[in-house]
Chain A
Amino acid sequence: MKQRTLWSAILVAGLALAGCGSATRPASSPGDSSKVTKLVVWDWKSGDAAAASYVRKAKEDFAKKHPGVTVEFVAQPFDQYYTLLGAAIQSSTGPDVMLFNGGGQIRDRVDALLPLDQYVAEDEQRLAGWDAFSKDGKIYAAPVTLQGHPIYYNKTLYEKSGLDPASPATTWDEFIDDCATIKKATGVRCFALGNKEGAGIQFFLSGLGSGILTPQEYDDWIAGKRAWTSPNVKRVFKLWKEAGDSGLNNDGANSTAMFNDAFAIFNSGKAAHIIGLMSDIGHWKDFSEFLGADKVGVMRAPVVTTGVRPTLPYDGGIGYAVAKWAKDPKLAADLVRSLTTTDALTSFYSDAGAIASDTTIDVSQGPAAVGTIVSEIKGGKPALHVALSSKTLDLMGRLSQQLLSGSATVDEAVEQLAASDRES
């Protein structure tokens, strides 16, 4: 064991200095469970002032159950988070508990994680969003927030244009008409779009997908049977291109960062709609601060394919997982449970504006936008883009930029995406 630690130390140090790759070795098994007195948690949230009371409540809950065990939160910068975690995983040393984004980020790394099924069974009904943290039927993290892509709209602009803010368009044609009306009356574009990072297409696909794919196609997509060249999937990318070509988006979408320039465009009333987020950032609370809580509307995806019923696209947003190398898995899993108590999550919801995974939190006091989002959670489905591998998402980002600039056609794009999706 000592030898191993020594080698790992040398490897990590060498890696940092030489910067040329890292070394591999088989993941180690959980060590002996001699009395553990300290747990280390890695995340990118605990340094955030809005998460302070959430972390405090979780810590208090854990201290009650396990007095004598200290918990240290290490807030890593999000930009570097998965790079640092990658180094920790390669050397099988690092935090006992760590925060993950749902979907590809955690699924790519389940080899380093402990299945939590036996520990979190009691919470399965209370919390939503497990799918994003599961792979092959095993749960690897407990969801803290839900992340999804509601379509937000600016009610003030609707009023100025003589549209009824209480009844936004339900079909794509109506939606396009409304956008034309808004542009005529106020000169404002339809969508705030930032596609510099390639995130715009992900939001577009998931935000509008449920109005385009049939329920069967949608479920197949999530299940991994993705018919990229089917007419409806192609239509998603056609609409993306058309929206760009016909000037629905703000100018320079390919050089506008979604985080946070596109949100700023919506906040400043320079665009009427945005496909935003539910938690963390670019969500109802952020927008409310600029536009006023009663002026932020949430609408369902406009129906493109007749007969489909749009649903809210959402998944588990972030969740805490336990490392395979944790000395005392039971203790670490208990910490994860403390991090997902109703009490702690309520704090997260009220302070940070996150839509928490806990379905028993009362949001009736919140603004209308939250009420709309929460009421849709029950009928919601996983977001389309979350089902894709990070490699395919990266490719989709680049292809979407090419579609906007006209250097690729829809047929070329879906073909390349299909090939990338088959490989991964």
Chain B
Amino acid sequence: MAIRDTSPLARPADSGRAGGGEIRRRARHGGTGTISRTLRSERLAPFVLVAPAVLIIVALRLWPLLLGVNFSFTGDGERNGTMVGLDNYLDLFQDPLFRGALRNVGLLVLLLPVAVAIPGLLATFIYLRVPGHRVFRSVYFFPAVLSPVIVGAIFNLMLAFDGPLNTVLAGIGVGPIDWLGDPDVAMFAVVGVQIWATFGMALVVFLAGFATLDSALLDAARVDGASLPQIIWHVIIPSLTRTIQFVFVTTMIGMLTSMFGLLYVMTSGGPEGSTYLPEYYIWIQQGQMNRPALASAASTILFVIMLVVGLLQISVLRRAGRED
């Protein structure tokens, strides 16, 4: 539809001739072949030009996605290849491990404000030029360039039962905490490390947001005698609404999609299966339990979750843009 409407624009040569209708009539009567060929190829050109991109997306994204969904309705092991309906999905929701993984996704969403507040607060301090802010700016960003495997290995040592952190705690009289061995603590330990490892990126986004902040407002607040908390609450946060929303969205995506490496290195899903996330569950079922169809079903559920989260985020961003 759109292509035909815009075609005159794409054919400026037409305007100098007898008119499109005349040419088309002649073409229909098998008139000059060159013109009709040109026309046809011009009409096809847009399709040809978008074809590679569309084919790549269809062949390498959509088609496998459909195969994956279709595969999730087949069985594993002896029932390999036969359709089993919703059995895999029933299995999943009966599996306490998978339910635990979904609960952990919920926990991540709940911890999101903390993950956003930390870089926001630190960026505020840097913006307000606390002593040594230049050093802090680079130091805070440093962990963001480390791979999750390295970060995980470092914190495995730090958080070991007989590791440095517990030694320090013992020094101030706090009993040793089994950071990665206590099911009530382990997930928070891993999320804490994830925040430590990734807040540098959010910090940079916040600093960029601060660059657009009107310093006259801050000065006015100071002249009026506002305290630091008041400045943050009444001046900085309202001015940075869009930045904060953007950081919320990107941090959420980061937490849901890039914690596999940390989990793999730090806890292997344990203790007692308390740090499973859907990604890790999928990997275990596919690779260790040899149940690819069940893993497909879990993938489909994760896909739906991400789709919902993604759509919500898009609407949030769109609304933020409109407010502007």
Contacts and interface: CB of A to CB of B under 8 A. Distances in A.
Interface of A: 10-11, 13-15, 17-26, 80, 82-83, 86, 90, 108-109, 111, 196-198, 251-256, 261, 390-391, 394, 397-398, 401-402, 405, 407
B183 A407 contact: yes
B180 A255 contact: yes
Given A20-B296, A21-B299, A111-B80, A14 B67 contact: yes
A401 B68 contact: no
Contact of B272 (A17, A23, A407): A407
Contacts of A90: 292
Given A14-B60, A14-B67, A18-B61, A254 B270 contact: yes
B236 to A, nearest CB: 40
A86 B270 CA distance: 24
Contact of B181 (A14, A254, A407): A254
Interface in B267-306: 267-268, 270-273, 283-284, 286-290, 292-293, 295-297, 299-300, 303
Interface in B236-289: 267-268, 270-273, 283-284, 286-289
A14 B180 contact: no
Interface string B182-226: 110010000000000000000000000000000000000000000
Contact of A18 (B65, B72, B272, B295): B65
B178 A255 contact: yes
B286 A23 contact: no
Contacts of B183: 401, 405, 407
Contact of A24 (B65, B80, B283, B287): B80
A108 B77 contact: yes
Interface string B162-185: 100000000000001011111100
A82 B160 contact: no
A196 B180 contact: yes
A261 B161 CA distance: 11
Given A251-B162, A254-B178, A390 B272 contact: no
Contacts of B297: 21
Nearest to A424: B77
A391 B293 CA distance: 15
Interface residues of B, number: 50
Contacts of A15: 64, 68
Nearest to A25: B81
A21 B71 contact: yes
Nearest to B75: A24
Give the 10 A-B residue pairs with the shortest CB-CB distance, closest first. Answer: A252-B161, A21-B296, A14-B64, A255-B181, A83-B287, A20-B68, A254-B181, A21-B68, A20-B299, A255-B180
Contacts of A398: 97, 270, 272-273
A251 B182 CA distance: 12
Contact of B292 (A22, A198, A261): A22
Contact of B287 (A21, A82, A251, A407): A82
B260 to A, nearest CB: 11
B296 A253 contact: no
Contacts of B97: 398
A21 B72 contact: yes
Given A21-B296, A22-B296, A24-B74, A252 B68 contact: no
B142 interface: no
A398 B181 CA distance: 12
Given A80-B287, A251-B176, A26 B81 contact: yes
17 contacts: A14-B59, A14-B64, A17-B64, A20-B65, A20-B69, A20-B296, A21-B296, A24-B292, A86-B286, A196-B268, A197-B268, A254-B270, A397-B270, A398-B273, A401-B272, A402-B272, A405-B182
Contact of A13 (B60, B271, B300): B60
Interface of B: 59-61, 63-65, 67-72, 74, 77, 80-81, 97, 159-162, 176, 178-183, 186, 267-268, 270-273, 283-284, 286-290, 292-293, 295-297, 299-300, 303
Nearest to A18: B64
A90 B288 CA distance: 15
A46 B150 CA distance: 26
Contacts of B159: 255
A21 B295 contact: yes
Contacts of A17: 60-61, 64
A20 B64 contact: yes
Nearest to B284: A394
B139 to A, nearest CB: 29
Given A21-B71, A197-B270, A252-B181, 17 more contacts: A14-B61, A15-B64, A15-B68, A20-B299, A21-B68, A23-B64, A23-B70, A24-B293, A251-B176, A252-B161, A255-B180, A255-B182, A390-B289, A390-B290, A397-B270, A401-B183, A405-B182
Contact of B271 (A11, A24, A86, A196): A196
Given A21-B71, A405-B182, A407-B272, A256 B81 contact: no
A255 B296 contact: no
A108 B286 CA distance: 12
Nearest to B81: A24
A253 B182 CA distance: 10
Contact of B283 (A20, A22, A26, A83): A83
A22 B290 CA distance: 12
A255 B271 contact: yes
A93 to B, nearest CB: 16
A396 to B, nearest CB: 12
Nearest to B272: A401
A11 B80 contact: no
A134 B77 CA distance: 17
A10 B176 CA distance: 52
A390 B290 CA distance: 9
B68 A390 contact: no
Contacts of B267: 196
A251 B161 contact: yes
A86 B287 contact: yes
Contacts of A390: 288-290
Contacts of A13: 60
A105 to B, nearest CB: 8
A83 B283 CA distance: 8
Contacts of A253: 181
A229 to B, nearest CB: 21
Contacts of B271: 196, 254-255, 401, 405
Contacts of B182: 254-255, 405
A9 to B, nearest CB: 11
A254 B59 CA distance: 45
B161 A20 contact: no
